[in-house]
Amino acid sequence: MNLPSETAPLIDDELELLAQLVPLAGQDIIELGCGAAALVRKLLSRHPDTRVTGLEVDERQHAKNLAAPQAGLCFMAGVAQAIPFGEASFDLVLMLKSLHHVPKASLPQALHEAARVLRPGGHLYVSEPVYAGPFNEVVRLYNDEGEVRAAAQAALDAALRTGHWAQVAEQRFNMPVAFRDFDDFEQRMMRPTYADHRIDEAKLAQVRAAFEPHVGAGGAHFTRPMHVRLLRRMARAAAADVVPG
């Protein structure tokens, strides 16, 4: 299903979509760039027989994750382009708004690594924000991700051409995003622990001016267009496989 964003369904809980596409009970799962791991924490509450590893590059977020343990969930510091596990270790690899954060030159290696750690027939679930819509128009003023998001999609296309993957599903949907006020937006979106957006007073004022027209009595409400691609791992990669450039 691949609908334009204006007709795509509104999905508040992406776990519901994930559950429709892949089995989750009793699986070995790794999330690359897990952030606070909100989705997989919820997943484990529904499927306690599943095992999840959260891989995170940001040291401050990783420390927060370690301070909030949960049964079935373990955290490791690391990057997608060098996954610290052996071949065929997982049934499912998740990348939730994280593929475009991989350095552009490392995207082929990251997808190669995802293939390496997946078992035969395992899946790679990639969910990426679309570079469009009113929310994006605000965010791009201080963090323009047009180039990196396009590079992420191009890397997936290139990975499919290697023959190691088959795309088995594609879905576009809209995800609601809400903020109490601009201060809430500033703290959550403009000052993440994993990036320095170099926010000075002029930039802050510019973003505030773009944000404030969206604020109503109940705060600011946006819908963020999202693009999911589900790939299945085909034949096992040999040690001499060449990473596509």
Q: pLDDT tens for residues 206-240?
A: 999 999 999 999 999 999 999 999 999 997 644 33
CB 67 within 8 A of CB 76: no
Pairing of strands 118-129, 219-233: antiparallel
Please indicate, yes or no, if residue 206 is contained in any of the structural domains: no
Please indicate, yes or no, if residue 162 is contained in any of the structural domains: yes
Q: pLDDT tens for residues 153-199?
A: 999 999 999 999 999 999 999 999 999 999 999 999 999 988 899 99
Q: Treating both helix axes as pointing N-terminal to C-terminal, what angle do 14-21 and 38-46 enclose, rounded to 10 degrees?
A: 60
Please indicate, yes or no, if residue 245 is contained in any of the structural domains: no
Domain that holds residue 71: 14-134+143-177+224-233
Please indicate, yes or no, if residue 21 is contained in any of the structural domains: yes
Please indicate, yes or no, if residue 229 is contained in any of the structural domains: yes
Please indicate, yes or no, if residue 30 is contained in any of the structural domains: yes
Alpha-helical runs (H) found in the chain: 14-21, 38-46, 59-66, 107-117, 134-139, 146-161, 182-185, 201-211
Please indicate, yes or no, if residue 193 is contained in any of the structural domains: no
Per DSSP, the residues of 120-150 read EEEEEEEEEE-S-SHHHHHHTTT---HHHHH
Give the whole-angstrom CA distance, residue 109 versus residue 86: 15
Helix (H) or strand (E) holding 175: strand 165-179
- How much is the pLDDT for 22? 98
Give the whole-angstrom CA distance, residue 146 versus residue 150: 6
Cα R_g (the chain), whole angstroms: 18
Look at the chain and report how many structural domains it folds into: 1
- How much is the pLDDT for 245? 46
Predicted TM-score (pTM) of the model is 0.92
Phi-psi region of 53 (alpha: psi -120 to 50; beta: other; left: phi over 0): beta
Please indicate, yes or no, if residue 89 is contained in any of the structural domains: yes
What CATH code is carried by the domain that includes residue 25? 3.40.50.150
